[in-house]
Chains A and B, each alone.
Chain A
């Protein structure tokens, strides 16, 4: 690792942030410059998602991933977003509108988060590439894109996980381009940017809706869970998938309450990015969509079509990759047991469910993230936020069912939490991150409900 790599990586992430700011202008704009500062994490993650999805489509189309093409992609996305924003009548706030006021509570929790992020950076700055999936296929795919320019489907076919979409390898290869070499040590910091961007996005989205004391502790709790501390910077797709999924789940949750169109646009983009990251993204998006549709059942005519539209847009953005798999006769990554095979392995159903639930509630992996989610759902239901509580309950239930299905439908996976033979811990990461995104919202709704009850 050297300063050149660090500067290159920083430049790449500035590009992602700028693209994200343009996308934010296209979907929502901002009321003041402090508003933009608050939403900078969200903007960054929008930039990551938009750039990642675009790079996957370009790779499938046979384009080379050169430095110039990456910059042109960013420029194209930014120009299209700004034009869309202009067409929708958005404008920038006056230059003097900047309210830099933050509360003392926010400053204290913010200081803790900053120190945590710096410590995480320190742990990742010289980390080695030891994790199996990272060196076995995620990073080799990125190196192949970096050295050969595009997707070499014969090479991809030889690696484990050939059906995994190439969003993460594409972003890793883009990071290599900016660093000037395939520096797999410094590359860990790219995942630091993703994680810090994700935390920033959660804080930025929730800060105006949730009191600081209900917002920060759940987020800091997630940040110090053993699994996050041990695996967040690994050069794999799992955490990136979890981050996209959690943001999509949060935006749909916000939309069920507030019904702002930008929330749907953001959810569609993050859902597409999740599905372009790992094939589990399809399963997880289905969980979000079903949870949202069932939770809004009483107003299905009003709320159902937009959710289905988000689903359709997100899936449509992943069609090029599915076509690529089909055309090149690559594995499409179906379940090992097949459709009816589940009945043949019915004896695995209960142990698989027990494994999924016990992993989610395992203190040594996720501390008390899951129990807190259960408490927050109950509190929100008691506080009168029934739709949000129903959505969160369904999301948890469906996600646990999906994790159960994975162990059940792949009989070669032993029923164990051992990370080298069963991906259950990595799978539960998506629900842990989504729970952390929703808990402050649920607690805030409960708090408002209890206060209004007390006042009446």
Chain B
């Protein structure tokens, strides 16, 4: 009898445990725009984001200004949450990123260091 019940019990536990565990952690919620911003926490795969914009005209203006002062490689791309971001990829470490941000501030920008999507 036990050999008949045990397999079904395993299936039942698997079916119930995962949803309960997931719901205990957090209730389902739709991701918002803030969830698209991933602050830099460790070295590797970093980018400096000069800003997020709802229109390509505003993003273009910031991009042109960034390129003009010498931030080569800066580009516009979708942030996956409905906005356009002006960003510079390829920053290897947090220290390099902090130095870059300090330099950008002297040129009148206020970029944010973020972790790129893998």
Contacts and interface: CB of A to CB of B under 8 A. Distances in A.
Contact of B7 (A106, A130, A185): A106
Interface in A84-108: 100-104, 106-108
A115 interface: yes
A114 B15 contact: yes
Contacts of B10: 104, 107-108, 110-111
B69 interface: no
B70 interface: no
Interface string B1-38: 00110111011011101110010000011110000000
B31 A126 contact: yes
Contact of B18 (A100, A104, A119): A119
A114 B28 contact: no
B108 interface: no
A130 to B, nearest CB: 7
Interface residues of A, number: 21
Contacts of A107: 6-8, 10-11
A185 B22 CA distance: 20
Contact of B11 (A1, A110, A119): A110
B22 to A, nearest CB: 6
A37 interface: no
Contacts of B8: 100, 102, 107
A108 B4 CA distance: 14
A112 B4 contact: no
Interface residues of B, number: 19
Contacts of A100: 4, 8
Contact of A114 (B7, B14, B29, B80): B14
Most buried by A among B6, B15, B18, B80: B18
B19 A118 contact: yes
Contacts of B18: 114-115, 118-119
A111 B19 contact: no
A103 B11 CA distance: 11
Contact of A125 (B7, B14, B17, B28): B28
A259 interface: no
Given A122-B22, A130-B80, A104 B6 contact: yes
B11 A114 contact: yes
A118 to B, nearest CB: 5
A207 to B, nearest CB: 13
B30 A126 contact: yes
Nearest to B23: A122
Nearest to B78: A130
A185 B29 CA distance: 12
Contacts of B4: 100-101
Interface string B58-81: 000000000000000000000010
A112 B7 contact: no
A344 B96 CA distance: 52
A107 B22 CA distance: 22
Nearest to A112: B14
A119 B14 CA distance: 12
Contacts of A108: 10
Contacts of A118: 15, 18-19, 22
A196 to B, nearest CB: 13
A102 B7 CA distance: 7
Given A100-B4, A130-B80, A111 B28 contact: no
10 closest A-B pairs by beta carbon, nearest first, are A107-B7, A111-B14, A107-B10, A118-B18, A102-B7, A114-B14, A115-B18, A114-B15, A111-B10, A126-B30
13 contacts: A103-B7, A104-B10, A107-B6, A107-B7, A107-B10, A110-B10, A110-B11, A111-B15, A114-B14, A118-B19, A119-B18, A126-B29, A126-B30
Interface of B: 3-4, 6-8, 10-11, 13-15, 17-19, 22, 28-31, 80
